[in-house]
Amino acid sequence: MNEVYKIVFMGAPGSGKTTCIAALSDIPPVSTDVPCTDALQETKDTTTVALDYGELRLDGDNGRLLLYGLPGQSRFSYMFDVVRAGLFGAIVLVDASSEGAIDGLAETLETYREDLASIPLVVAINKSDEPSHALGLRCQQALHAQGLVAPVTAMDARRRDDVVQLFEVLLTLLEFGFGHTSKGRAT
C-alpha cells in the first residue's frame, strides 16, 4: 500500500520552515524564496512567498510524507487552501532569536485558528540552544488566546532527527485524536 500523508510547517519569516523541509526531504526541496524587499531584508536575504515543498519516503511500502512550508502572515492565508485536503498535522515554528517571536506566532495562530483547531498541532521553538521557560509559557499563552491546545517543544530545524521527532509527536497526537473536531473532518 502506497499511502500519501501531508504535514505543513508554518510560521513567521525566518522561523525555519524552509530549513525544516530541507533537513527532512528525500528530494531536493522546491522553494519559492525570493529576495526580501521590505524591512525583513535587515534580518535575512530571502523569504518564502508561496510555499516550500519536499517529500519523505516512509519505511517499507508505507508511502510518502508530503512536506509543505507556508508563510504565517495573513496575506498568504489563501495558500492553506492548496494543502488543506488530506492534511493530518501542522508544525508552527517560532524563531527564538527574534524580538518579535511571539507576535509572529500570534499572527500565524490567529490567521489559521480554525484550520489548526481541527488537526494535530505542535509549536516548535527554533534557533535557541535552550529556549527560556518564559518563551515556552508565552507560546502557551498565545495558543490559549486563540483557543488552541498544543505541545510546545524546542528543536533545531537544521537537524533531521529533531524534525523527525516533531513528526512523531504529530503521529502520537493523531493516534490519541487530539486536534480533531466534529466539523466534518476526521474524528
For residue 181, is pLDDT > 50?
no
Full strand arrangement of the beta sheet holding 52-57 = 52-57, 64-71, 4-11, 87-95, 121-126, 152-154
Q: Summarize the confidence of residues 136-152 as an average pLDDT.
A: 96
- pTM for the complete prediction? 0.85
In this predicted structure, what is the pLDDT of residue 182? 34
For the domain spanning 4-175, the CATH number is 3.40.50.300
In this predicted structure, what is the pLDDT of residue 110? 94
* Radius of gyration of the chain, Cα coordinates, nearest whole angstrom: 15
Domain layout of the chain by residue ranges: 4-175
pLDDT per residue as tens digits for the range 4-41: 889 999 999 889 999 999 999 999 988 766 665 655 55
